[in-house]
């Protein structure tokens, strides 16, 4: 599965902790992330993470485009709802794209844990049936 990771600035450390805790599940899948989030996760966990641009430079839009083309199977977007952030990723458009394309989405660590554990159990295998992927994953 292709899993995208995005985290607002105040949630980046939480994303790193989450990916560290679930490293052995995530290692079985193709990961991509916005720039800084991807770098932090990769450095902390050793996981291979394809890094797009930073969110401020359009990385969230790059991930959104892949969602629109049904190339992402899950989005973990740890957002900070308490900080006013003009240049941060456009939450509403990413949520809308996930809804349109039936992409499982977690916007907090509790939901992300449910999705990751479900992924490990095989609960999301329907994504592979509905949308078969090449072996190469994200490019």
pTM of the model: 0.90
Q: Is 112 exposed, middle or buried (0-12, 13-18, 19+ CB in 10 A)?
A: buried
State residue 137's pLDDT score: 60
**How much of the chain, in percent, has pLDDT values that exceed 90?**
74
Over the chain, what is the mean pLDDT?
90
CATH of 2-33+45-118, one of 3.40.50.1380, 3.10.20.740, 3.40.50.280, 1.10.8.80: 3.40.50.1380
Q: What are the extents of the domains in the chain?
A: 2-33+45-118
Task: List the catalytic residue out of 9, 60, 73, 123.
Answer: 60
Convert 31-65 to b/e letters by CB count within 10 Å (16 or more is b): bbbbbbbbebbbeebebebebbebbeebbbbbbbe
- Residue 24: both structure tokens together: 């052995």
Summarised one tens digit per residue, pLDDT across range 42-98 is: 999 999 999 999 888 989 999 999 999 989 999 999 998 887 765 555 788 999 999
9 is catalytic: no
């Amino acid at each position: 599965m292709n899993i995208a990771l995005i985290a607002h600035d105040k949630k980046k450390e939480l994303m790193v902790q989450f990916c560290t805790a679930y490293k052995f599940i995530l290692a079985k899948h193709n990961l991509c992330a916005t720039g800084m989030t991807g770098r932090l996760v990769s450095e902390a966990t050793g996981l291979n993470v394809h890094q797009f641009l930073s969110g401020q430079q359009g990385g969230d839009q790059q991930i959104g485009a892949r969602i629109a083309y049904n190339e992402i199977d899950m989005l973990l977007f740890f957002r900070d709802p308490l900080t006013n952030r003009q240049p941060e990723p456009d939450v509403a458009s990413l949520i809308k794209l996930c809804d349109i394309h039936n992409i499982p989405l977690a916007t907090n660590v509790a939901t992300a844990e449910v999705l990751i554990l479900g992924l490990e159990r095989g609960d999301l295998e329907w994504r592979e049936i509905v949308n078969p992927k090449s072996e190469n994953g994200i490019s």
